[in-house]
Structure 1
Amino acid sequence: MHRRIVAEARPVGIVVVFYHPNGDCIRRANRFAEFGQCVVIDNTEIRLSASDLGLDDSVIYLSNGRNRGIATGINQGVAQLLDRGCSSALIFDQDSEPSDELLSGLPGLLEREVHAGRRVALIGPAYDDARLGGTAPFVRFRFPVLQRIEPVGTELIPVDFLISSGSCINLSAWDDIGPMDDALFIDFVDVEWCVRARNRGYETLGSPTLHLAHSLGGEPIRVLGRTYPSHSPLRHYYLFRNATALILRGYMPLAWKWTELVKLPVRLLIYGVWLEPRGQHLKMALRGLWHGLIGKLGAWEQT
């Protein structure tokens, strides 16, 4: 029988990962500090101080002096929040602009469900991306295609994964599940962590009543009447590498592996034909596939 996870009345924390932030990023972080203990992890290659950036004194700021990836950034931020006794951690990209309702609502929902006796690892909002056609559905891994669930109604929806930005982690479950996988660096970091959480008997829940505007990738491209998010060649390296590496891991769900195996050649065709520079996108995607097969993970290093 699973043990019941009960959260105490402890402060809420917020983790934001910076990479070459602009003034709006600083403004958002200072605003977050009004709702909870805000930790900023800066992956920018140049070391700066919090005062140089204009961050509020209440913001905890850690400069890595190099890009250590989103997984390590989240892990560093969560470690700071755990040291300060926080019960939950809201995770945001530097360009996320959540509403006041979301900032207070997600931790409240998490606390409610945990006190009701549910083993919840993560609660996240619905995601609005106007460039890709509106509100994205929640997802469950099913064979032969993913089950897409429209975010309607008022009840929390059990899902198989949530993207990290905008989600709220139950820190009481962090040690049991383990940190984000540093070796993945970026892409599928959230998927892998949610799978581990569910394998440990925790739930991941989507809230259809709370929404976050979130843009996936760069400017979308249209191919044969469908819209796809675009990325840089380097991001395509990570996408193909990590998908391949995770397909080879035994604990990942077979339904997820199948859908990724189907998507990989389609992505390769789209990014290698419709995105400029075609050769660079194709080269980095194929290199990512190879590195995933041989288990070469971590940050990309030019050779």
Structure 2
Amino acid sequence: MTLDQQSSAVPVAAPAGAVGGQVVVIAVTWNSAAVLPGFLASLAEGMDGVDDWRVVVADNASADDTVAVLHELAPDAQVVQTGRNAGYAAGINAALAACDRATTRAVLISNPDVRMRPGCARTLVEALDTPQPDGSRTGIAVPVLLEEDGSVFPSLRREASVATAFGEAVLGNRRAGRFPRWGEMITDPAAYTRPTRADWAGGALMVMSQSCLDACGPWDESFFLYSEETEYCLRARDRGYVTCLAPAAAAVHLGGDSRVSPRLFTLLTLNRVRLYRLRHGAAATTAFRAAVLLRELSRAALGREASRAAARALLSSRRLAEKPGP
């Protein structure tokens, strides 16, 4: 299906292929009417080779025409209305609750501003359950994420540490990413041309095996937005299910507001510290918070408004303690 075929209904099944068992496509929407047509139009090619798939959309009380667009362009999709702006993790949990676990082989979770390349889903599903040298197996498979200009976005990540936080404060994310000890972002271009294991990956598009979902349980709804995919990937790794890149799978991500919105960037920054605190002791968390604060203060000094807002929030114990929300 192409963009000029958006008036056609989106099918719930693609032509028969090599991948068996149902794959559930989950999207969480909130005022997503502008990006939904392109997402829905890309599904047929993106799911090519998957013989049984269905779409479940969790809508977080959109105030625009999101639900109307879904009913018009994807009448066979199941729409779960949460009734509130519940957050990304809560939306995923609501959609998962609507799935029949007994017939589901894998779950594909995608932002509505993602456009899958042909055969993307099949490649990701086939990558699941690949055994790892340490006895773990692939529970989460991710594609190569492309920018709108076709360039590769470095979406693979190492687990955050005090060292990586200080490295990024001094060198910047991408420069620090060249050094495994000092950077969280994996920037080596070769890593995106081969099956690469990562501690976690950006959550714009990921496929999870049903056994991984069973082992890990619901997503953590305390992260309203940002770091929820990080927490889930790390939790999965703790249970023997690792995150791996499938280099033959690709998708275009149109981007997010965290780049320009001080409010969203602040939430992203605070949630990084909250997640670190969840997995580490008080002393290490204090050092990590100081390193993140150093980074944002240095960028605020250069006039970056989003960093100025994030630094103010990091200096406030009250902001760190309060529950994330819209």
TM-score (norm 2): 0.71
Please state whether the residue corresponding to 2:201 is helix, strand or coil: coil
Q: State the alpha-carbon separation in 2 of the partners of residues 110 and 44 from structure 1.
A: 33
Cα distance change, pair 92–189 in 1 and its aligned pair in 2 (3 A): same
Deviation of 1:167 after TM superposition, in Å, equals 1.0
Residue 40, structure 1, aligned to residue 69, structure 2: no
User: Over residues 33-79 of structure 1, what are the superposed CA-to-partner deviations in whole Å (9 max), with x where a residue is unaligned?
Assistant: 78421111112443979556414222011223332111111222222
Q: 2:25 aligns with which of 1, 6, 14?
A: 14
User: Over residues 70-93 of structure 1, what are the superposed CA-to-partner deviations in whole Å (9 max), with x where a residue is unaligned?
Assistant: 111122222223446211111111
Q: 2:218 aligns with which of 179, 183, 197?
A: 179
Identity of aligned residues (%): 21
User: Over residues 156-187 of structure 1, what are the superposed CA-to-partner deviations in whole Å (9 max), with x where a residue is unaligned?
Assistant: 21111011122111122213112221011111
* Greater shift in the superposed pair: 183-192 or 52-61: 52-61
Q: 1:145 aligns with which of 169, 183, 205?
A: 183
Show structure 2 runs of 5+ residues with no match. 1-18, 48-52, 160-179
Deviation of 1:240 after TM superposition, in Å, equals 2.3
* Greater shift in the superposed pair: 157-166 or 28-37: 28-37
Q: Which amino acid aligns with 1:145?
A: G
Q: Which residue of structure 2 lines up, in the alignment, with residue 223 of structure 1?
A: none
Q: State the alpha-carbon separation in 2 of the partners of residues 156 and 257 from structure 1.
A: 35
Q: Which residue of structure 2 lines up, in the alignment, with residue 232 of structure 1?
A: 261
User: 2:296, 2:308 within 8 Å by CA — same for their partners in 1?
Assistant: no
Q: Which residue of structure 2 lines up, in the alignment, with residue 97 of structure 1?
A: 115
Q: State the alpha-carbon separation in 1 of the partners of residues 250 and 318 from structure 2.
A: 34
- Aligned 1:1-303 pairs, distance under 5 A: 9-29=20-40, 32=43, 35=47, 36-46=53-63, 50=67, 53=70, 54-83=72-101, 85-110=103-128, 113=130, 119-129=137-147, 134-136=152-154, 138-141=156-159, 142-146=180-184, 148=186, 149-151=188-190, 155-218=194-257, 230-250=259-279, 262-270=291-299, 273-275=302-304, 278=305, 282-283=308-309, 285-287=311-313, 290=316, 294-300=320-326
Q: State the alpha-carbon separation in 2 of the partners of residues 45 and 11 from structure 1.
A: 28
Q: State the alpha-carbon separation in 1 of the partners of residues 190 and 289 from structure 2.
A: 23
Q: Which amino acid aligns with 2:272?
A: A
Cα distance change, pair 80–271 in 1 and its aligned pair in 2 (3 A): farther
* Greater shift in the superposed pair: 127-136 or 10-19: 127-136
Q: State the alpha-carbon separation in 2 of the partners of residues 292 and 195 from structure 1.
A: 26
Could you say what the CA RMSD is over the residues aligned between the two structures, in angstroms? 3.6
Show structure 1 runs of 5+ residues with no match. 1-7, 219-228
Q: State the alpha-carbon separation in 2 of the partners of residues 132 and 143 from structure 1.
A: 29
User: Over residues 5-27 of structure 1, what are the superposed CA-to-partner deviations in whole Å (9 max), with x where a residue is unaligned?
Assistant: xxx95201111111212254145
